[in-house]
Amino acid sequence: MTHCLNCGAERGADACESCGLNSIAAEFALRRRLLNRTAIFVLGALAFVAASVRYPPLELDGVLIFIGVLFFLTLGLAIVVERRALHHAEVEALKRVYYGLIPLPWLLGALLLGNGALDRSAARDEEARVVGKFAMAGALPSRRLVVTSWRDGHRIERIPVDRGEFDRSTPGDYVDIAVHDGLVGIPWVGGVSRR
């Protein structure tokens, strides 16, 4: 006994008793749905990255690594489901896990956006010294100032900055980093000003 690839009902014969599709039609229906949901997921990941640029968390690198791992795990799962569907194998459980992961980047993006946009707390200025900087070109250009950390247990911070601030700063400069606590407790960087 397998489950219908289209509606998930248990199926004894080739044609599903619940939705009426035969196994070939059900396979196509599932693969079309997989493709649509994958598109929603990829858009969500882009929305998440956009949110992380607008209100950059202090721990931006960790946040981006997390979403990257989630991204590839989810797409890997989509590939497994699709391959199993091609062979008309059982996909019901994996499919549900996959569908459950689809809204995650949207929810995390909304969390990050709300954390910054709805944060009414005043920023506090943290004094730091620039010790280096690096920029990465590409689809998602990123510019960071490497500064001495004000937090216990941290030696340096990599502060995301815009192009103007990046160009103005040189190692040895003293800067003030405006840090907000964040509505849900994710500290984010409001800006950098020089002393």
One of 1, 3, 13, 19 touching Zn ion (CB under 5 A): 19
Minimum CB separation from Zn ion for residue 69, in Å?
Answer: 34
C-beta of residue 160 within 8 angstroms of C-beta of residue 147: no
Indicate the residue among 18 and 193 with the shorter CB distance to Zn ion. Answer: 18
- Per CB under 5 A, the segment of 11-19, 35-43, 94-102, 145-153 that binds Zn ion is 11-19
Q: Is 30 in the site for Zn ion (CB under 5 A)?
A: no
Q: Is 2 in the site for Zn ion (CB under 5 A)?
A: no
C-beta of residue 115 within 8 angstroms of C-beta of residue 48: no
CA gap 103, 58 in Å, rounded: 24
Q: Is 16 in the site for Zn ion (CB under 5 A)?
A: yes
Phi, psi of 108 (to 5 degrees): -65, -35
Which single residue is written with the structure tokens 């199926």?
11
From the number of C-beta atoms within 10 Å of its C-beta (0-12, 13-18, 19+), residue 64 rates as middle
Q: Is 91 in the site for Zn ion (CB under 5 A)?
A: no
Using CB under 5 A as the criterion, which residues of the chain lie in contact with Zn ion when the complex forms? 4, 6-7, 9, 16, 18-19
